[in-house]
Amino acid sequence: MIWLIQDFDLLSVIFRALALSLEALTVGGVIVLLFVAPANSGEPSARDAVRKFVSRFALSLAIIQLLAVAESSIMLMAGVSNLAFRDVIDAAFFRADCLLVVAALAIFFLARRGNDRAALFAAATIVAASTALSHAASRVDVRPLLLLLTILHHLGAAAWIGGLASLLVTIRATEDPRKIHPMTERFSRLAMVSVAALVLAGVGMAWFLIGSWKAFYGTSYGLMLLAKVYLLLLALGLGGCNFWLVRSTRSDAAPTLIRLRRFSEVEIGLGFTALLAAASITSQAPAVDLTPQDLPSRHEIVERMSWRSPGLHSPKVSELPKAPPLKVHLEDVSFSGGSLGNAMSRKWSEYNHQWAGLIVLVTGALALVSRFKGQAWARNWPLLFIGLAVFIVIRADADAWPLGPRSFWATFAESDVLQHRLYALLITCFAIFEWAVETGRLNSQKAALVFPALCAAGGALLLTHSHATGNIKEELFAEMSHTPVALLGATAGWGRWLELRSVHDESPSGQRPFVLRIASWIWPLCLMIVGLILLNYRES
């Protein structure tokens, strides 16, 4: 129970991210069944495959939403609110969650029975219930307009990103190749409308929920919205490549379909990363609600983020403030927003980030060197990540095992320690696999995809990393260093994914397409930039 309450913020963001992703897959699949591969044009085998696809994700959505409402209810009853269960079930969020669960279960049964039109009504109910859980439902001013914009935003994301996943299922299961191109053209038109609705609704919501340009770059809410814009632009770039492939090819040429799937996989991955950023936004107060005193000035931002030579010197463990007992730490520190700590604590954290940055910078540089012919020795670059994982386990948390007084298992009650150790595990896994792939010890493409998958997942997970210091400005400065790292990690992962998935997609002249050559260079550069950002990390 302590772990659940302590990690409420982390769990709520993860549950919300999973719910938004599953919502997009479920609703997008229903849209594809009705408007992209309807009964009069789609093959029965392809439609059955999409129905199975939709039903699985609808059931998953119902389960995740049940877990989310249970976690929120337990938090309200066992946490500082101390509400009774009868009070919780009267809350608007509880009713919206239950409605969403019922609608998701309805799609699960309707999709299996082939009742697509009735599933459309259930999909609309899911979108309405999900909108009731957003910031728009809690606003007093312009609530109807914000609700409408949020609905359009959800529908746009579902039709584009979720629908694209169902389109790939449709293409894979279609037995008559002549029917593939008409479906991709219909989806292309649908995607253009969906993107337009998504962007216009997003701009409208930003207008009301951010309020000013200063709040746009001077709040965590605005910063996370910028992260969504960045991911949207990357996904749109790949979507443009798909659009060009569909328009320029009027045949069922296999190479075109393969490249279409490659670009679509990365487009979907970036889209779901953006949905995770959207989940992080819902856990933060809208920027318009903050006072001008809460926002840092441009001078403060420039002063904090400008380059300084890293010190790379660490204080001793004995110089750090002593950690309180775990129970006191959970009750008095976490729920009160924590504290900034003293100068030694800040130096400890800066040292850790800067040395991690140095390791990542060297790793990225070696990965870049390995792109050149005759530099096979540089392909051992993944082994440096194992050193980074060991460094994180030992140094990330001074009050935890092995340096601090808290035992190995006791510190798993703290969300920051848990996240750091999950990162170390992820780093070790993809280091071993990528080293085996780079040096030719593993020739399986599935093994090769472990590194980019974990890299993209690690970047996405970092978007959920909270910094509750009790000081809004300090939280923003922490986000300003961590959010770019998360975005670059996701970019590197999906860039490497595209490179590996397209390794045999060569033109008749023997050269790889320009976009794929760019992908093979961009991910090492992303690692190097991550290293530079961490080398410049500081907390004062």
Are 20 and 133 spatial neighbours (Cβ–Cβ below 8 Å)? no
Could you tell me which of 335, 279, 269 has the C-alpha nearest to residue 465?
Answer: 279
**Crossing angle, helix 254-282 and helix 472-501, to 10 degrees?**
170
Q: How far apart are CA 29 and CA 159, in angstroms?
A: 8
Q: How far apart are CA 91 and CA 98, in angstroms?
A: 11
Output phi, psi for 536, to 5 deg.
-95, 10
Report DSSP state, residue 82.
Answer: -
Give yes or no for a cis peptide into 177 (omega within 30° of 0). Answer: no
Cα dist from 3 to 205, 409, 415, 503, whole Å: 35, 11, 8, 44
Alpha helix (H) residue ranges in 79-158: 85-89, 92-113, 116-131, 135-138, 143-157
Where do we find the tokens 């974990």? 454
Q: How far apart are CA 192 and CA 156, in angstroms?
A: 10
Q: What is the pLDDT of residue 374?
A: 83
Structure tokens at 211: 């309020």
Could you tell me which of 130, 122, 120 has the C-alpha nearest to residue 150?
Answer: 130
Q: What is the pLDDT of residue 471?
A: 64
Q: How far apart are CA 245 and CA 428, in angstroms?
A: 38
The pTM assigned to this predicted structure is: 0.81
Cα dist from 403 to 241, 339, 421, whole Å: 51, 21, 14
Could you tell me which of 496, 479, 482, 498 has the C-alpha nearest to residue 534?
Answer: 482
Question: Exposed (0-12), middle (13-18) or buried (19+): which is 248, by Cβ within 10 Å?
Answer: exposed
**Crossing angle, helix 8-31 and helix 415-438, to 10 degrees?**
60
Q: How far apart are CA 457 and CA 376, in angstroms?
A: 28
400 bridge partner residues: 406
Structure tokens at 156: 């746009």
Helix, strand, coil content of the chain in percent (nearest 5): 75, 0, 25
The residues near 143 (Cβ < 8 Å, ≥ 6 apart) are 136, 137
Q: How far apart are CA 380 and CA 431, in angstroms?
A: 10
The residues near 451 (Cβ < 8 Å, ≥ 6 apart) are 382, 430, 433, 434, 437, 493, 496
Three-class SS of residue 115? coil
Output phi, psi for 406, to 5 deg.
-80, 140
Structure tokens at 175: 């037995």
Element (H, E) at 478: helix 472-501
Could you tell me which of 17, 341, 13, 53 has the C-alpha nearest to residue 170?
Answer: 53
Q: What is the pLDDT along the chain (540 residues), one digit of tens a residue?
A: 344 444 566 777 888 888 999 999 999 999 999 888 887 766 788 888 999 999 999 999 999 999 988 888 887 777 656 677 777 787 888 888 899 999 999 999 999 888 888 999 999 999 999 998 888 887 777 888 999 999 999 999 999 999 999 988 888 888 777 777 788 888 888 999 999 999 999 999 888 888 788 887 788 888 888 999 999 998 888 887 777 766 665 554 555 666 777 888 888 889 888 888 888 887 777 888 777 777 787 777 787 778 887 777 777 666 666 655 544 443 333 333 333 346 777 777 788 888 888 999 999 999 999 888 888 899 999 999 898 888 888 887 777 777 776 777 776 766 677 777 887 887 888 788 888 888 888 887 778 888 888 888 888 888 876 555 556 777 777 788 888 999 999 999 998 888 888 765 555 455 556 667 787 889 999 999 999 998 888 777
